[in-house]
Amino acid sequence: GAVVSQHPSRVICKSGTSVKIECRSLDFQATTMFWYRQFPKQSLMLMATSNEGSKATYEQGVEKDKFLINHASLTLSTLTVTSAHPEDSSFYICSASHTTGDTQYFGPGTRLTVL
């Protein structure tokens, strides 16, 4: 149990385009999903916390208009990187926690490369 999927696993896009990343909890309901960014050989940096049916809470320094988060159901959250630039290239990982829990289960991550 507690399986989280993420799609796509890799994406290459041109500068100025938008990219959508999906995060799904496959076998449990997740009231809360989290989006992280990870640079090579660095730790996980929380970008935003996403609660089903409400607006995401963004960490300081993360532009909400650039990183659009939608948590439409208890099993799906999406992150859209709008007008992507090369500096947005990174490994984006989501996690999800059960409706009553605090343990976070991670998706496999999405490697974004912006040319």
Partner 1 sequence: GENVEQHPSTLSVQEGDSAVIKCTYSDSASNYFPWYKQELGKRPQLIIDIRSNVGEKKDQRIAVTLNKTAKHFSLHITETQPEDSAVYFCAGGGADGLTFGKGTHLIIQP
77 counts as binding partner 1 under rule CB under 8 A: no
The angle at the Cα of 71, spanning 37 to 3, to the nearest 5 degrees, equals: 70
> Alpha-carbon torsion 30, 99, 94, 34, what sign?
positive
The residue (of 1 and 14) whose beta carbon lies closer to partner 1 is: 1
Task: Specify the residue, 11 or 82, whose C-beta has the smaller distance to partner 1.
Answer: 11
Amino acid found at 68 = L
Instruction: Determine, following the binding rule CB under 8 A, whether residue 90 of this chain makes contact with partner 1.
Output: no
Distance of closest approach, residue 67 Cβ to partner 1, in angstroms: 16
Report if residue 97 touches partner 1, rule: CB under 8 A.
yes
Residue 34 interacting with partner 1 (CB under 8 A) = yes
Q: First and final CA of the chain: distance in angstroms? A: 37
Length of the chain measured in residues: 115
Q: Which is nearer to partner 1, 16 or 108 (CB)?
A: 108
* 67 is an interface residue for partner 1 by CB under 8 A: no
| CA atoms of 14 and 95, how far apart (whole Å) | 27
- Tell me the three state secondary structure of residue 42: coil
Among 62, 68, 70, 109, indicate the residue that binds partner 1 (CB under 8 A).
109
